[in-house]
Amino acid sequence: MTAPLYVVTGAMAAGKSTVAKALVQRFEKSAHVGGDAFLRMIAKGGAVMGPVLSTEAIAQLHLRQDIAMDAVRRFVGAGFTTVYQDILIGADFVRVTKALADLSPRVVVLNPNAETLAHRDANRHKTGYGEHFPPNVLAEALQSETPREGLWLDTSAMTVDEVVEQILQNW
């Protein structure tokens, strides 16, 4: 039996990192793979990630996802309960969940409303939204382009502990 794999996704500021960090603490042997870490490894020549992605940005996004999936496979193979957290919306959601299907991923979609995303983004050290990239862009893309697979949670009024409990109760 392979170790469990959790895939946590949602829009920017949905709470993915916070939930993933709390979730991995619930297991004796666990690993947290954050997709952003691989994007930050690009020292020069990083493409702009925004509401409209260039061909180069898409290529770098896929590179980041592929490296993350390689890391996920290594951790799961070594017996670690693994939580992979990244923004996976629409075609990227399908691409990644299909590529990891043999690991039976436990997919969690954090789906707070756009107002909550804006509030959370404004109250964190890294902000991703702005005048030309409001939170509703990703919130609406998540709703309209992403298959309703896995556990979808409206976390607008939930604490981190409540979200983690919902995830654990589901599996």
Q: What pLDDT does residue 123 have? A: 78
In degrees, rounded to 5, the angle at the alpha carbon of residue 8 between the alpha carbons of residues 161 and 34 is 105
Instruction: Extract long-range pairs of 129-133: CB within 8 Å, 24+ residues apart.
Output: 129/12, 129/13, 132/50, 132/51, 133/50, 133/51
Tell me the CATH number at 158.
3.40.50.300
With H, G, I as helix, E, B as strand and everything else as coil, classify residue 135: helix
* Number of domains comprising the chain: 1
What would the pLDDT profile of 31-64 be if each residue is shown by its tens digit? 999 998 988 898 999 888 877 789 999 999 999 9
What would the pLDDT profile of 85-109 be if each residue is shown by its tens digit? 999 999 999 999 999 999 999 999 9
Indicate the Cα dihedral angle 112, 115, 116, 120, nearest 10°.
Answer: 130
Q: Give residue 144's domain range.
A: 5-170
Q: What pLDDT does residue 40 have? A: 87
What would the pLDDT profile of 3-33 be if each residue is shown by its tens digit? 999 999 999 889 999 999 999 999 999 999 9
What would the pLDDT profile of 111-146 be if each residue is shown by its tens digit? 999 889 988 888 777 666 667 667 778 888 899 999
Q: What pLDDT does residue 6 have? A: 98
